[in-house]
A = this chain, B = another copy of it.
Amino acid sequence: MLRDGPAHRPSTKAHDLRIGLLDLIESAGVGERLPSERELAGRWGVARMTLRKAIERLIEEGRLERRHGSGTYTAQAPYARLFGLSSFTEDMRQRGLTPSSKVLRLRKVRASTDAASRLQIPVGEDVLRFTRLRLADGEPMALETVLIPSADVPGLSTKDLAGSIYEVLWDRYRISTASAQTTITPVLPDERSAAALGIPSSQPCLHIDMTDLDNRGRTIMVADCLYRGDRYELTIDLAAPAFPITKAGVRQ
């Protein structure tokens, strides 16, 4: 059933099983139970240990979860996979704060040379550009400007921007971030940004620049964020054995 062409590189059985498992995951809903390991191993004619290896890799990737004695389940929506850094909404909730947003601008623009280069699209292409004030417990926390190729998000409007953009991209367009590149620098805000954030322009801020890529390395969007240095701190926990965990913290 599974194997394909002859002169193919990674063609191990575990890799073929991966494809089959991904199909199952795709067609299943979030949190749904897969057939048992014995059932799947039998169905695909492989040893259970071999199947388990393929499952383990998908667990590492955050696509599956196992519950001892119960079963193997599809994991939560992939937009939650990139830890704290990716989603302001998630960050704030983890801190026990209530996130909200105020859309300051939303319009369609033509990609500048710089934007086109970052988005990997032709110069002049239509791009949706919006700026939001992100709040925590009603108080300004960050100012964020996002660029997304218009063609990817037909019909996206202001009312979709109340919460996590990751959630909207996934729920509505089935777009999900597989990796992100982030650059962090300390800056002083310009007058306008300082006013929007409610801080003096002498207050240092974290400038967090992010590019989100899908699983084929194509750019999904770029985001330019300015976080208040007096309220926000970035925490990175690096652990040698397990995965480094990155999360954002809030200074009390």
A-side interface residues toward B, CB under 8 Å?
Answer: 49, 57, 60-62, 78, 81-83, 85-86, 177-188, 202, 204-206, 215, 229, 233-241, 243-244, 246, 249, 251
| Cross-chain contact B179 with A236 (CB below 8 angstroms) | no
Q: How many copies does the complex hold?
A: 2
In the assembled complex, the Cα of A229 lies from the Cα of B188 at a distance in Å of: 10
Closest CB in chain B relative to A214 CB, distance in Å = 10
| Cross-chain contact A239 with B179 (CB below 8 angstroms) | yes
| Cross-chain contact A177 with B240 (CB below 8 angstroms) | yes
Closest CB in chain B relative to A113 CB, distance in Å = 19
12 examples of A-B residue contacts, CB within 8 angstroms: A62-B240, A85-B236, A179-B237, A184-B206, A184-B233, A184-B234, A186-B229, A188-B204, A204-B204, A236-B236, A238-B246, A243-B243
Partner of A234 from the list B177, B180, B185 (CB cut-off 8 Å) is B185
| Cross-chain contact A184 with B82 (CB below 8 angstroms) | no
In the assembled complex, the Cα of A204 lies from the Cα of B244 at a distance in Å of: 27
- Also in contact, A235 and B182, with CB within 8 A (given A61-B240, A243-B244, A244-B246): yes
